Amino acid sequence: MNRAAPVAIHRFKGGFFGVDWSDGNRTALPYRWLRGQCPCAQCVDEWTGERRVGESEVPFNVEPVRVKSVGRYAIQIAWNDKHDSGLFSFEYLRELSARFAKGPRNGEAEPACGSKGGCV
Ligand SMILES: [Zn+2]
């Protein structure tokens, strides 16, 4: 099965980070929520998996200042709170997208679509 890859990145009005995917799906996630899902070692404890920096730790006006693609599997987002070590793999972005679609406060719920990639 082909894995979906981003074909375009958008900044939507109202503070949403948007991704158009090669399979035709579109993701739109609020900046602050997305920043709070950063998977890097500063934000998530490498040993315990416990989140150290979540949505409530980041500024209300957080937004991406630079988005860089990394290989063919991830994007790196630099934020205006000077944090730029988070690599969001395509797979992780799709998972976040599915999680957000189920309700942004329902952070730990299983993504409805798993790795099938069918719905975002
Ligand atoms: Zn981080």
pLDDT for 15-53, tens place per residue?
Answer: 999 999 999 999 999 999 999 999 999 999 999 999 999
Q: Which domain holds residue 80?
A: 6-101
pLDDT value of residue 2: 60
Centre of ligand 1 to C-alpha 51, Å, is: 10
Does residue 91 fall inside a structural domain? yes
**In angstroms, what is the span from residue 30 Cα to ligand 1's centroid?**
16
Residue 22 in any domain: the answer is yes
If we measure between CA atoms, which residue out of 7, 62, 97 comes closest to residue 88? 97
Question: Is position 73 within any domain?
Answer: yes
**What pLDDT was estimated at residue 103?**
79
Overall domain count for the chain: 1
d(CA 11, CA 95): 19
CA of 106 from ligand 1 middle (Å) equals: 20
Per the model's pLDDT, the better-predicted residue between 38 and 117 turns out to be: 38
Measured CA to CA, the distance from residue 104 to residue 99 in angstroms comes to: 7
Query: Would you say 63 and 86 are in contact if contact means Cβ atoms under 8 Å apart?
Result: no
**Where do runs of H (alpha helix) occur along 1-101?**
31-35, 90-101
Which of 89, 66, 93 shows the shortest CA–CA distance to 77? 66
54: in domain? yes
pTM exceeds 0.95, yes or no:
no
- Residue 50 dihedral angles phi and psi, to the nearest 5°: -75, 135
Q: Residue 116: inside a domain, yes or no? A: no
H/E stretch holding 32: helix 31-35
Structure tokens at 26: 């579109």
110 domain residue, yes or no: no
Query: Ligand 1 centroid to 86 CA: how many Å?
Result: 5
Q: What is the mean pLDDT of the chain?
A: 88
CA–centroid distance, 75 to ligand 1, in Å, is: 13
- Give residue 98 CA to ligand 1 midpoint distance, Å: 20
Measure 119 CA to ligand 1 centroid, in angstroms: 26
CATH number at residue 24: 3.30.2020.30
**How far apart are the CA of 49 and the centre of ligand 1, in A?**
13
CA of 38 to the centre of ligand 1 (A): 4
Please tell me the predicted confidence (pLDDT) of residue 117.
Answer: 45
Q: Is the pLDDT of residue 108 over 60?
A: no
> In the beta sheet, which residues pair with residue 76?
68, 87
